Amino acid sequence: MPATTGSARRVAVLRCIVAALVVTVLLAGLVVLVFWLVVRPKPIEYSVARAAVRRFHVTAPPGGGGGATLNASFYLTLAADNPNRRVSMRYKSVAVYVHYGAGEVAPQLAVADVPDFHQPSRNETRLEVRAVARSAPVPDWTARELEHDRSDGEVGVEVRVTAIVHFLVGGVKFRHYNMRAICSPVVIGLSPSSAKSFRGVPCDVAIS
Ligand SMILES: *[C@@H]1O[C@H](CO)[C@@H](O)[C@H](O)[C@H]1NC(C)=O
Ligand SMILES: *[C@@H]1O[C@H](CO)[C@@H](O)[C@H](O)[C@H]1NC(C)=O
């Protein structure tokens, strides 16, 4: 008899533990669901709203012996849109890169750092960026294509933005994420009047 009581008790204890686990998991799921419904996170959006280039000079590679360089000032206006009602953001280590062409092999022409900033909820922040190439070394083939673009009157670049982002919900800061936005192709006219006809270029944003 005592043995049966003992095993019955063990079964009862086990049942209790299982029930507690199930309730805990259900509660955790409910908390996540309610959080999601209340916060309703929406993806952040980036675009290049304006773009111009000034002081654009390429040195042709002397006798094809290498050493081609570029001078150029890229003026970019980036529109960062946070459509979320309850999520604000803190941006750190923001950098904007201008690459020639597109894709993995596209050589970098210029880079600019952007000061850290805080973005409230439901806000569009415009970042005015000046990325300067000062005697920047470029591959010979790039120099030749840039020279060609100069006579055509427009240059096609890829703008990349990297940043560290903290999300804040109701004053609570979540762990940081790496943000990467790629905007391509950004075709910039070289004549001073062409900035007016520039159409916005949307960016692909990835958060990891
Ligand atoms: C680029 O600018 C530097 C001075 O900042 C100058 O020495 C150099 O000759 C320029 N290169 C071209 C291709 O204009
Ligand atoms: C977005 O937030 C920034 C920084 O707080 C502010 O300067 C700007 O006016 C805001 N823009 C809009 C459209 O609310």
Q: State residue 109's pLDDT score.
A: 96
**173 in the same domain as 139:** yes
Of 35-49, 54-68, 113-127, 152-166, give the lowest mean pLDDT range: 54-68
Q: State residue 38's pLDDT score.
A: 81
3-state secondary structure the chain: CHHHHHHHHHHHHHHHHHHHHHHHHHHHHHHHHHHHHHHCCCCCEEEEEEEEEEEEEEECCHHHCCCCEEEEEEEEEEEEEECCCCEEEEEEEEEEEEEECCCCCCCEEEEEEECCEEECCCEEEEEEEEEEEEEEECCHHHHHHHHHHHHHCEEEEEEEEEEEEEEEECCEECCCEEEEEEEEEEEEECCHHHHHHCCCEEEEEEEC
Going by alpha carbons, the residue nearest to atom 14 of ligand 1 is 57
Tens-digit pLDDT profile for residues 103-134 = 888 999 999 999 999 999 999 999 999 999 99
**53 in the same domain as 35:** no
134 lines ligand 1 (CB under 6 A): yes
pLDDT at 88 over 90: yes
**32 in the same domain as 74:** no
- Count structural domains, the chain: 2
Going by alpha carbons, the residue nearest to atom 7 of ligand 1 is 135
Domain that holds residue 4: 1-40
**22 in the same domain as 84:** no
**97 in the same domain as 3:** no
**16 in the same domain as 114:** no
Tens-digit pLDDT profile for residues 150-191 = 999 999 999 999 999 999 998 888 889 999 999 999 999 998
